[in-house]
């Protein structure tokens, strides 16, 4: 039958299933394009920034906004230290100390900067009064003990590590380094006792296990302390 002139042709209907497939394909294409654009211009930039990078930007801005704020320089110095840039860290710590020389935290961080630069004598000058003033300041005593140890003053190091475990009895690190100091002094028995104490609190303390094995091997495999 011929269609009459002027009469519209019947509409062609697309099956529902086919329409849904087309819509799904379009949505997927839009999502993929969005992900590609987002990764290229936005997300990729954030992924490349580490925590230290973000902290550095914030610390630099803080110093820029408040150049006379000792805590701002302290924060920036700490971030430089995290990056391994001891020289820049010391500049910021010294500036913080100039701005607020009585600030206990400033003096402590400056001492850490000296230790990072292996200037243990300078660190000890700052840490000794901090430890004397802060009888219960674990960090001050521990850092002072570490400075003594690194500078070869093993007897003083032992006394300070003893102070740290008096403040915090479960400090496995303090017992471990105390053992190293005893070992340097030639007192193998007390060294082994200290390593055993470290392992008492942290049984899988790898460095303490290795130190203990080293001493036992040197002694012919015997455990002179009777420890585990």
Q: Please answer whether residues 76 and 60 qualify as being in contact, where contact means their C-beta atoms are separated by less than 8 angstroms.
A: yes
Q: In angstroms, rounded to a whole number, what is the distance separating the alpha carbons of residues 221 and 139?
A: 36
51-117 matches 120-220 in fold: yes
pLDDT band at 131 (very low <50, low <70, confident <90, very high): very high
25-63 pLDDT, tens per residue? 767 677 767 666 655 555 555 556 788 889 899 989 999
pLDDT at 135: 86
pLDDT at 173 > cutoff 50: yes
Q: In angstroms, rounded to a whole number, what is the distance separating the alpha carbons of residues 24 and 88?
A: 56
Class of domain 120-220 as given by CATH? mainly alpha
pLDDT at 227 > cutoff 50: no
Domain-by-domain residue ranges, the chain?
Answer: 51-117, 120-220
203-220 pLDDT, tens per residue? 999 999 999 999 998 877
Domain 51-117 bears CATH identifier 1.25.40.10: yes
């Amino acid at each position: 039958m011929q269609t009459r002139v002027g009469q519209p042709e019947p509409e062609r209907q697309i099956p529902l299933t086919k329409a849904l497939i087309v819509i799904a394909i379009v949505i997927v294409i839009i999502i993929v394009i969005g992900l590609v654009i987002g990764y290229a211009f936005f997300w990729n930039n954030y992924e490349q920034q580490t925590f230290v990078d973000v902290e550095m930007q914030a610390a630099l801005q803080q110093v820029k906004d408040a150049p006379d704020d000792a805590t701002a320089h302290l924060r920036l110095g700490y971030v430089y230290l995290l990056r391994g840039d001891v020289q820049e860290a010391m500049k910021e710590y010294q500036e913080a100390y100039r701005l607020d020389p009585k600030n206990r935290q400033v003096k402590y961080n400056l001492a850490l900067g000296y230790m990072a630069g292996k200037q243990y004598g300078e660190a000890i000058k700052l840490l000794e009064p901090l430890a004397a003033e802060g009888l219960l300041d674990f960090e001050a005593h521990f850092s002072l003990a570490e400075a003594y140890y690194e500078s070869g003053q093993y007897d003083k190091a032992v006394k300070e590590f003893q102070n740290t475990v008096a403040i915090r009895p479960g400090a496995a690190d303090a017992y471990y380094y105390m053992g190293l100091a005893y070992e340097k002094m030639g007192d193998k028995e007390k060294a082994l006792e200290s390593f055993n104490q470290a392992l008492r609190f942290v049984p899988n303390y790898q460095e303490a296990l290795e130190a203990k094995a080293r001493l036992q091997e040197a002694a012919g495999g015997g455990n002179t302390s009777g420890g585990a």
